[in-house]
Amino acid sequence: MGKRRLLICFAVIAMLITGCGEKPAVPPLELPDAGQITDVEVTTIDGFSCSCSDREWIGRFVSVISSAQATDELSVQEHPASDYYGEFSISDGDKAIETIYYYLKGNRGYVEKTYQGIYEIDMEELKSLIRDMN
């Protein structure tokens, strides 16, 4: 009976050490308030770059990006693992606040906030947002 208890304790400890527990939750994607953002520079996947400071577009940008749904993947490096990605550089005056990356993986669109998380997004809505820049 003692060997059986020892074996069960060993199995439980092994599961805890190897990570059979819960994965860390990706926090919701947080962006600065639309009123704090003065402009957003977009660099598309094919290298085209454009900046927009239109207040209405910035409000839509915050809404679209904030609608992204968290995946169970954390962002653990400076840039996405994808070879082809675009980026949104968010500025407050002359100071860059943060950068959000976007890319396709399979048939799905993702946005990634460095060292925070990876989020699934409606890529058609994102493409429409980029097309509507003034």
| C-alpha closest to that of 129 among 66, 73, 71, 60 | 60
pLDDT at 9 over 80: no
pLDDT of amino acid 19: 58
pLDDT at 21 over 60: no
Q: How confident is residue 73, by pLDDT bands cut at 50, 70 and 90?
A: confident
Q: How confident is residue 28, by pLDDT bands cut at 50, 70 and 90?
A: confident
Query: For the residues 98-124, what does the mean pLDDT come to?
Result: 92
For the chain, which residues make up each domain, given as ranges? 27-131
Dist. CA 88–CA 31, nearest whole Å:
12
pTM flag (> 0.85): no
Q: Which CATH class is domain 27-131?
A: mainly beta
Q: What is the 3-state secondary structure of the chain?
A: CHHHHHHHHHHHHHHHHCCCCCCCCCCCCCCCCHHHCCEEEEECCCCCEEEECCHHHHHHHHHHHHCCEECCCCCCCCCCCCCCCEEEEEEECCEEEEEEEEEEECCEEEEEECCCEEEEECHHHHHHHHHCCC
pLDDT of amino acid 4: 72
23-27, Cβ contacts within 8 angstroms, sequence gap of 24 or more: 23/72, 24/74, 25/70, 26/70, 26/71, 26/72, 26/73, 26/74, 26/116, 26/117, 26/118, 26/119, 27/70, 27/116, 27/117
pLDDT at 85 over 60: yes
Query: For the residues 56-60, what does the mean pLDDT come to?
Result: 95
pLDDT of amino acid 83: 86
